[in-house]
Amino acid sequence: MKTKKLFSAVALACAVAGLATVGCANNSSTRKAKSAGETVLNLYDTSGGVVWTDTVASNPAGCGTGGYWDSTYTTHRLAFGEFVFDHDGGVWPGSTIKYWGGFTFGTNGDTYCYSDTSYCKCCRPPVWCDSTGSAGWINNQWGVIAGAGLDTLNFEPQKGAPYLIAFGSGIDVWLKDSVPFKPLGVYICNHPWPYYGNIYGDGFARPLDNVGDYFVLIIEGLDEDGDVIGTVTDTLAKYNPKNPAAPIQPKTWHQVVLDEEIARPVQNLRFSLETTDTGPYGPNTAFYFCMDKLKVDVDTKGVAGSVTEKTAVKKTAIQKPKKKDVEEFVDHLTVGSHVAGEAVLYNAQGQVALKTVLKAGSNKLDTKKLPAGKYTMVHHHRVKHFVKK
């Protein structure tokens, strides 16, 4: 049984330039001596095969200072130096619906709220937000609430600096050739969509204004068999007893220390989100967060439980399929959606089984005529799997 622990990030001031073998200032009495194998994620490092190219425009409103990865809606590999990230995307066969999941990256730096559908060209303060819906977010998913990514020297926000945007839950990071590594730390920042949704709601999510409400990021270290060997939980938002209308949630980048709870080397790290705002159709909070400057140690010699014969043999185990949330249905399929728009249900052969228009909120679809089997629904950039019994 997994043990989840709330963990307060300890600020570590590291001066690191690029993806290199580096040392780090020791700001924690429990941290080990620096290792010659420490490496830090550098989003400017294209040796992993990604050539960073902006989209033409950051969003229809014209806000922001940059764009996002032009291959976000493709199955293009996402890697920087030695680091490899889960990413999937494309246009669903037989439709114009684009989707993506996992990690992408951008330089947008947008902090605006797009929960209302009447947004215009940067004509309002970023706090102007309401709970009418989420339609405005689909073309504006690329921001970070801190306003910029981190520079490579002092790890301070720098206008135009790239950062990772994560969408989904249960998404992985690993190293090329499945090299075991010891996770040390990572910088995390709130994404604007859930940040504003936690305050105002977004037409689907409700504000986190109930006692005990929270929105957390769970980081798990997995061994070669996919078993969890350590867990760190970072609170992205929680109920504010002094002001229920304003949940406690950071607006800046903060470092999450990993090696104190994930003490053994791992094959990969898994990032998952959890919220108290759930319904019969799953989580209502928009599952996004931003990430940068993941730091690991690949010099695992002499570390207890590091590289066994079992690890060396099973080098490809890190890329085994992940668990997918699959919902069962019979005569009716009930789907919750943040935004209105076309949705297509495909059968296991990739054929269109049902095409409909969803409204924002709960939708009940008649599926009596559909045969039993596996189905996949694509709606905007989201993909969900179902099984009819």
CATH number for the domain whose boundaries are 326-388: 2.60.40.3080
Global confidence as pTM: 0.75
Closest CA to 112 of 84, 147, 155: 147
Domain boundaries, the chain: 38-319, 326-388
Instruction: Kindly give the confidence (pLDDT) of every residue in the chain, 389 residues in length, as a single tens digit, with 9 standing for 90 and above.
Output: 333 333 233 232 232 223 233 333 333 333 344 566 899 999 999 888 777 666 544 444 445 445 888 888 888 889 999 999 999 988 877 777 788 999 999 888 888 887 765 554 444 445 556 666 777 787 788 899 999 999 999 999 998 899 999 999 999 999 998 899 999 999 999 999 999 999 988 878 899 999 999 999 999 999 999 999 999 999 999 999 999 999 999 999 999 999 999 999 999 999 999 999 987 667 889 999 999 999 999 987 755 444 433 333 333 333 333 444 567 888 888 887 766 677 888 888 778 888 888 876 678 899 998 999 988 887 766 677 888 88
Tell which CATH classification among 3.20.20.370, 3.40.50.300, 3.40.50.720, 2.60.120.1350 matches the domain 38-319.
2.60.120.1350
Helix (H) or strand (E) holding 313: helix 309-313
DSSP 74-88: S---EEETTEEE-EE
Residues whose CB falls within 8 Å of the CB of residue 306, separated by 6 or more in sequence, listed in order = 180, 182, 264, 265, 300
